[in-house]
Amino acid sequence: MLSIVGIGPGGYDDMTVRAVNAIKNADVITGYKLYVDLVRDLTGGKEVFCTEMRGEVERCKKAAEFAISGKNVALISSGDAGIYGMAGLVLKILEDHPEVETEVIPGVSACQSGGAVLGAPLVHDFAVISLSNLLTPWSLIEKRLEAAASADFVIVLYNPGSHKRKDYLSRACDIMLRHKSPETVCGLVKNISRDGETSSITTLERLKSTPVDMLTTVFVGNSQTTVINGKMVTPRGYRI
């Protein structure tokens, strides 16, 4: 059995009971070292195979090998293993091994944990877009930003910037500003549920020049999103 486990933002409390049990019941734990370290309390005495950043293919192949050999494997993904996570890659790697049983165990993704820190930004239709162009052409990312902004979606941006992509958020804001007001309520959360967690609420105009990194998740409201007692809130439409 290969369990592809989303562990959420990192703390034990934000894991589902099913994720905790899958890790406890596994023979082998595989994952990105940083994330495996987050669940180290649960992995005591087990075989552990970690890789560093960018080692996605290597660790998924290794997890598949362990599972093919008959071991119970928990492949750890931060957030939700099915949202920009390892679930798709592992299922592809196991294409020629339909005999291996797999399960995807969902976890709390950054759009949820970050949203909860900010308030309730995702209470209406939303789009999730990664600004990383490592695996996706920038032209497609631009097209998605434009489409989502034009239809007044709340937009969540994953991987909004890095050392090499310092101006990507600014470019994304320019595209969204073609359709969204400069006063659109936006939020940022960094290091969600970890030491040094910070969050702030701003406007789309100011977001354009806000520095971000790979550990930041960005929320861009729709035209109805507002600030209530310091929280970012998108209304659903109820009359009270």
Residue 151 CB, nearest approach to a copy of itself (Å): 4
- Paired tokens of 180: 């969204």
Q: Which is nearer to a copy of itself, 190 or 221 (CB)?
A: 221
CB of 216 to a copy of itself, least distance (A): 18
CA distance readout (Å), 236 to 108, 124, 164: 22, 6, 38
Q: How far apart are CA 116 and CA 123, in angstroms?
A: 11
- Which C-beta is closer to a copy of itself: that of 198 or that of 209? 198
Q: Is the dihedral of CA 52, 109, 163, 153 positive or negative?
A: positive
Phi-psi region of 12 (alpha: psi -120 to 50; beta: other; left: phi over 0): alpha
Q: Nearer to a copy of itself by C-beta: 36 or 148?
A: 148
State how far the Cα of 118 lies from the Cα of 121, in Å rounded to an integer. Answer: 7
Closest distance of CB 210 from a copy of itself, Å = 22
CB of 59 to a copy of itself, least distance (A): 11
Identity of residue 52: E
Tell me whether residue 93 or residue 204 sits nearer to a copy of itself (CB atom): 93
